[in-house]
Structure 1
Amino acid sequence: MSETYFAAYDALLARWPAGTAELTVPTPYGPTRVHAYGPPEAPPLVLLHGGGATGTAWFANAPALGARHRVYAVDILGDVGRSERTGLPLRRPRELMAWLDAVLDGLELPAAALCGHSYGGWVAAAYALHAPRRVRRLALLDPTQVFGGYRPGYLLRALWMLLRPTERRVGTYLDWETAGTGVDEDFRRLYVLGATLQGRGRPVVGRTLDPTPLAMPVLALFAGRSRVHHPETLADRARRLLPRARVHVLPGLGHHALPIAGAAPVDAIVLDFLGTPSAEGPSPR
């Protein structure tokens, strides 16, 4: 199964633009795989994927984002992918934050912009609360457990799939959530194989965050047809909690279809939020 999974992983990675570098960053919790693309001197942008997606999932966004930024797409440790969970225990959110500290240290990034989708949005927001001086700007794409919890109906579907995952069940779940909003077939295959990978670990999760202390510029972008939560409700809550944040709802996109199916509008909104490269200064690497 692992050979099949990593063949699917490599197939998605092959869709990244030419010039993408594969980095392995040592951390006390285990080596971390990072896909890097864009001018080395450009402002750094760290991408954190959704649960079960891996850093390869940003292939559709890398060309546009990497034209103006040095993109670092991380395989989050504890999830599926090519990062290896060895060394110190990684069980609690504070250990996950220490791991991301070590990743940025290994990449020689004193500070960077962070962009996270879904679970990666929770990781990015939690890290911005943990180390605000290291986060220049924070872009959250349909984040989970940042501005509110899950829909009960979604939880029932997801838990049923997670407790007894089979390729058919996981595929049915993904098709239900993305119905009519588009899902890339290579991404779907990797996601299904990852969810059913024998011996796979579970990502480190924590409570729903209180984002009100966030002081850096924040973008909150919600998928208008997300079944994970009520996007308009969370968008209104984001506006109340963070009055200075940029908040958008993209119609016609499901939670798992974002950001791949909506790459063009997502990239345009994120790049506009990040501003011109000169505004952030050069990358340390």
Structure 2
Amino acid sequence: MSASAFDLAYDELRARWPESTEERDVATPYGRTRVHVYGPADGRPLVLLPGGSATGLVWWANAPALGERYRVHAVDLLGDAGRTERDGTPLKNAADLMAWLDALLDGLGLDRTHLCGHSYGAWIAAGYALHAPQRIDRLALLDPTQVFAGFRPGYLLRALPTLIRPDEARARAFLAWETGDHRPDESWQRLYALASTAPGRKIVAGRCPRTAGLRMPVLVLVAERSRTHHAAKVAARARRTLPHAEVALLPGATHHSLPHTDPQQVNDHLMDFLG
């Protein structure tokens, strides 16, 4: 992958964010973390964690509405493509991700926050809410992977070529298969495809978190047409494990079309839940 090609795609999508968006590079023991910050300075904080290869920029279509009420902090994940650096303490496991988020929230000056994650970011968010429940007011999980159910075998088989021999064409073909006619934005597709080939990525895997231990209010939004897992099973297990949670299916949505395709659907659920 050409670094300049990724940077151009990154800057192109960054230009879609509102003009007043701030870029913050927050020092942590694991490296400096890029955070896109938008919304009123006195707004309740809302931290957004993206899926793998998506970068924090993936929330550009959600930020204008969410930023009317909340102080949005969209994060480039540690170990993934983006402008978060990985140096200093090595990233080895899920415990390191929890320590990284501790340091990130400290650096942002957030003693407490709402937390929302999509896909891999939802797995991290659920784990962090168990790790530091005193810091999380409300938790939103958007088509979470490896939280209430594992991946479909067919999804893993389709993803395998992009992991073994990643290139832009394979990543685009994978997106086209999963999203069908619910096609994501072209600028974001380009960034995702280039991100999937970024050298040195380290996506940490781990067990499903013990979600029954979550005590804060929880929202689970499941993509009705997700090919990542069985949507109905994920919703049923979420309701069974967290009887106090709000669980909803997003009609027509696929896993990788979230969160920016049909953003109003996601935003309405989030804003109703966050209050």
Normalising TM by the smaller chain, what interval? over 0.9
Write the distance in 2 (CA, Å) between the matches of 1:168 and 1:8: 15
The aligned runs of 1:76-91 (5 Å cut-off) are 76-91=77-92
Alignment check: 8 A CA contact 1:182 1:257 kept: yes
Secondary structure in structure 2 of the residue aligned to 1:146: coil
Alpha-carbon distance, 1:262 to partner: 2.3
**Where does 1:108-257 land on structure 2 (aligned, <5 Å)?**
108-197=109-198, 199-257=199-257
1:41-80 map, 5 Å? 41-80=42-81
Q: For the residues of structure 2 that align with 1:230 and 1:22, how far apart are their CA atoms?
A: 37
Q: Structure 2: how far apart are the matches of 1:252 and 1:181?
A: 8
Q: CA deviation at 1:181?
A: 1.4
Equivalent residue letter for 2:163: L
Q: Partner letter of residue 227 of structure 2? A: R
Q: Distance in 2 between matches of 1:81 and 1:100?
A: 16
CA RMSD of aligned residues (A): 0.7
**Contact 1:147 1:210 (8 Å CA) reproduced:** no
Deviation at 1:207, TM superposition (A): 1.3
Structure 2 regions of 5+ residues with no counterpart? Answer: none
CA distance in 1, matches of 2:146, 2:206: 9
How far does residue 77 in structure 1 lie from its aligned partner after superposition? 0.8
| Aligned positions of 1:9-48 closer than 5 A | 9-48=10-49
Q: Distance in 2 between matches of 1:220 and 1:170?
A: 27
What is the one-letter code of the residue matched to 1:254?
T
Residue identity opposite 1:96 in structure 2: L
1:25 Cα offset (Å): 0.2
Q: Secondary structure at the match of 1:60?
A: coil
Aligned-pair identity (%): 58
Q: Structure 1 counterpart of 2:204, which letter?
A: V
Q: How far apart, in 2, do the equivalents of 1:259 and 1:74 lie? A: 14
TM-score, normalising length: structure 1: 0.95
Distance in 1 (CA, whole Å) between partners of 2:262 and 2:98 is 29
SS at match of 2:163: helix
Structure 2: which amino acid aligns with 1:243? P
The answer to whether the aligner puts 1:265 opposite 2:265 as a matched pair is yes
Partners of 2:33 and 2:223 in 1: how far apart?
A: 29
Counterpart secondary structure, 2:4 = helix
Task: Give the conservation status (yes or no) of the 8 Å contact 2:141–2:219.
Answer: yes
Determine the C-alpha separation between the residues in 1 that align with 2:166 and 2:90.
Answer: 25
Is the contact made by 1:76 and 1:83 (CA closer than 8 Å) also made in structure 2?
yes
Taking the aligned partners of 2:83 and 2:262, their CA distance within structure 1 comes to 26
- Provide the secondary structure at the position in 2 that maps to 1:29: coil
Letter matched to residue 97 of structure 2: L
The count of residues paired between Structure 1 and Structure 2 equals 274
Distance 1:157 1:109 in 2: 39
CA distance in 2, matches of 1:49, 1:180: 22
Partner of 1:281: none
Q: Which string of whole-angstrom CA distances, capped at 9 and with x for unpartnered residues, describes residues 29-87 of structure 1?
A: 00000000000111000000000000000000000110000000010110000000000
Q: Matches of 1:61 and 1:147 in 2, distance apart? A: 25
- SS of 2:139's partner is strand
Q: Is the 8 A contact 1:48 1:120 kept in 2?
A: yes
Question: CA contact under 8 A between 2:176 and 2:183: conserved in structure 1?
Answer: no
CA contact (8 A) 1:167 1:192 kept: yes
1:267, distance to aligned residue in structure 2 (A): 0.1
Structure 1 runs (4+) deviating above 4 angstroms are none
Which blocks of at least 5 consecutive residues in structure 1 are unaligned? 276-285
Q: State the Cα deviation string for residues 83-112 of structure 1 (Å, max 9, x = none).
A: 000000111100110000000000000010
Give, in whole Å, the separation in 1 of the partners of 2:168 and 2:46: 33
- Contact map agreement 2:116 2:122 (CA 8 A) in 1: yes
